[in-house]
Amino acid sequence: MESLLLISPITALEFVADHLLSGEGPYLTVYSLEKDQLTSHRKRQNVLRGYSIHGIKLRSSATVEGEPVLITVFGSKGLIVLQLTIDDHEVSLSEICMLRELHDWIWDVQWLEDGLQPASYLGLALGHNSVALYDFISGEVLKEVHCAEKCILYSACFYGQSWEELVLVSGTVFNQLVVWGVSDPTNKDGRTEPRQRISGHNGVIFSIFYEKERGLLASASDDRSLRIWDVGDLAANSFDVQCLLVLYGHQSRVWSVKLIPENIISIGEDSACIMWNYQGDIVNHFKGHKGRGIRAVAVQDQHGLIATGGADSGIRLWQTNEKSSRSNELLPLHFSSSHSPGAPKALAMVDTTLLIVMTDVGSIYTYDFISKQWSFILADENYQSYCQLDVYKTSNSVICAIGNITGDIKVFTLSFPNIARDLKCHQGKIHSLTWVAPLCPGSFTCSLFSSGPYGIMVLLEVVCVSGHVESVTEKGRFILPPCKQRWHTSVAFLPDEDFIVCGDRRGSLMLFPTNDTCREQSNFLGTTSIQSDSDTIHLKENVDDLVGVEENNCPSSDCSVLSAKCPVSPLFGIHGKLGVTSINCHNGFVYSTGRDGFYRQLKVEKGQLTVLRKQKSCKGMEWIERLSFTADGNLLVMGFHATDFVVWSTGTNEKLHCVPCGGGHRSWSYRKEEHSEVFAYIKSCDIFAYMSHPVGNTHSILKEPVHGRELTCVRSAGTFKTFRNERLHVLLTSSEDTTVNILCFNEATKSLCQLATISDHISSVKTLALARTKPHFQEDSILSVVLFSAGGRAEIECYCLQINQGKGEESVSCQVIHLASHRLDEHWDRIKNKHRLVKMDPETRYMSITVVGEEIGDITTSSLVFLAAACSDGSVRFFSMCTRYRKMLLVAESFYHQRCVLKLWSFVHRFVDGKRDLLCSAATDGRIVLWDVTDTIEQARNVLQEEHEDFQPLNLGDPCFTIPAHQCGINSLHIQETKDGHYLVASGGDDNSIHICRLTVRVTTFNTDNRTSFQLLQEFSIPSAHAAHVTGLRFLQEDLLASVSVDQRLCLWHFSKDGGLHHTSTKLCHVADVSELDCWDNLTTGGHYCVLCGQGLEIVMCKLSKVPQLDQEA
Considering only residues 450 and 437, tell me which one the structure prediction assigns the higher pLDDT.
450
Q: Which pLDDT does position 445 carry in this prediction?
A: 86
Q: What is the mean pLDDT of residues 292-305?
A: 88
pLDDT in tens, 138-189: 888 999 999 999 999 999 999 998 898 999 999 999 999 999 999 888 888 8
Q: Which residues pair with 221 in a beta bridge?
A: 205
- Identity of residue 1112: Q
DSSP H helical ranges for 1041-1086: none
pLDDT in tens, 146-160: 999 999 999 999 999
Count CB neighbours of 982 within 10 A. 16
Distance CA 2, CA 730 (A): 20
Q: Compute the half-sphere exposure of residue 936: CA atoms within 13 Å on the CB side of its CA.
A: 28
**Confidence label for 665 from pLDDT (cuts 50, 70 and 90):** confident
Distance CA 211, CA 617 (A): 41
The DSSP 8-state label assigned to residue 944 in this structure reads H
Cβ proximity of 675 and 691 under 8 Å: no
Question: SS3 for 336-355, per residue?
Answer: CCCCCCCCEEEEEEEECCEE
Q: Which pLDDT does position 1110 carry in this prediction?
A: 43
pLDDT in tens, 1009-1035: 678 889 999 898 899 999 999 999 999
Distance CA 86, CA 201 (A): 42
pLDDT in tens, 879-904: 999 887 888 889 999 999 989 999 99
Q: Which pLDDT does position 1098 carry in this prediction?
A: 94
Q: Which pLDDT does position 989 carry in this prediction?
A: 93
Question: Does 560 have pLDDT greater than 80?
Answer: no
Q: Which pLDDT does position 449 carry in this prediction?
A: 95
Q: Which pLDDT does position 546 carry in this prediction?
A: 36
Q: Report the chain's terminal Cα–Cα distance, integer Å.
A: 18
Q: Which pLDDT does position 1107 carry in this prediction?
A: 47
Cβ proximity of 1031 and 1092 under 8 Å: no
Sheet containing 654-660: order of strands: 623-629, 635-641, 644-649, 654-660
For the chain, domains (ranges, CATH) are: 7-322 (2.130.10.10), 971-1114 (2.130.10.10)
Q: Rounded to 5 degrees, what angle do the CA atoms 146, 150, 156 make?
A: 70
Considering only residues 759 and 324, tell me which one the structure prediction assigns the higher pLDDT.
759
Q: Name, in order, each residue with C-beta under 8 angstroms of 1004's C-beta and a sequence gap of 6 or more.
A: 1010, 1011, 1013
Q: Which pLDDT does position 878 carry in this prediction?
A: 92
Q: What is the mean pLDDT of residues 83-107?
A: 89
Question: Does 697 have pLDDT greater than 70?
Answer: no
Identify the weakest region by mean pLDDT among 127-131, 430-434, 502-506, 825-829. 825-829
Identify the weakest region by mean pLDDT among 643-647, 746-750, 1062-1066. 746-750
> Residue 450 burial (CB < 10 Å; 0-12/13-18/19+)?
buried
Q: What is the mean pLDDT of residues 961-967?
A: 92
Q: Which pLDDT does position 88 carry in this prediction?
A: 76
Q: Which pLDDT does position 338 carry in this prediction?
A: 64
Distance CA 934, CA 916 (A): 6
Cβ proximity of 892 and 956 under 8 Å: yes
Strands 699-703 and 1009-1022: unpaired
Considering only residues 536 and 936, tell me which one the structure prediction assigns the higher pLDDT.
936
> Residue 120 burial (CB < 10 Å; 0-12/13-18/19+)?
middle
Q: Which pLDDT does position 1094 carry in this prediction?
A: 94
Cβ proximity of 172 and 205 under 8 Å: yes
Residue in 295, 310, 1053, 1095 with CA at minimum distance from that of residue 714: 1095
pLDDT in tens, 334-374: 887 666 678 899 999 999 999 999 999 999 999 999 999 99
**Confidence label for 50 from pLDDT (cuts 50, 70 and 90):** confident
Q: Which pLDDT does position 948 carry in this prediction?
A: 57
Q: Which pLDDT does position 543 carry in this prediction?
A: 32
Question: SS3 for 740-766, per residue?
Answer: EEEEEEECCCCEEEEEEEECCCCCCEE
Average per-residue pLDDT for the chain = 85
Question: Does 213 have pLDDT greater than 70?
Answer: yes
Q: Which pLDDT does position 781 carry in this prediction?
A: 62
Q: Which pLDDT does position 530 carry in this prediction?
A: 33
Q: Name, in order, each residue with C-beta under 8 angstroms of 44's C-beta and a sequence gap of 6 or more.
A: 27, 28, 29, 30
Q: Which pLDDT does position 851 carry in this prediction?
A: 93
How far is Cα of residue 743 from the mean position of the Cα atoms in its chain? Answer: 12
DSSP H helical ranges for 194-252: none
Considering only residues 137 and 695, tell me which one the structure prediction assigns the higher pLDDT.
137
Residue in 305, 296, 208, 266 with CA at minimum distance from that of residue 22: 296
- 830's enclosing H/E stretch is helix 824-830
Question: Does 872 have pLDDT greater than 90?
Answer: yes
**Confidence label for 559 from pLDDT (cuts 50, 70 and 90):** low
Q: What is the mean pLDDT of residues 377-392?
A: 92
Q: What is the mean pLDDT of residues 187-194?
A: 88
Q: Which pLDDT does position 947 carry in this prediction?
A: 62
Question: Does 945 have pLDDT greater than 60?
Answer: yes
Strands 711-721 and 777-778: parallel
Question: Does 268 have pLDDT greater than 60?
Answer: yes
Q: What is the DSSP string of 872-894?
A: TTS-EEEEEEETTTTEEEEEEEE
Q: Compute the half-sphere exposure of residue 379: CA atoms within 13 Å on the CB side of its CA.
A: 11
Question: Does 565 have pLDDT greater than 80?
Answer: yes
Q: Which pLDDT does position 678 carry in this prediction?
A: 93
Question: Does 734 have pLDDT greater than 90?
Answer: yes
pLDDT in tens, 472-484: 999 999 999 988 8
| H helix count then E strand count, the chain | 5, 88
Residue in 198, 244, 242, 247 with CA at minimum distance from that of residue 225: 247
Q: Which pLDDT does position 796 carry in this prediction?
A: 95
pLDDT in tens, 489-512: 999 998 877 899 999 999 999 999
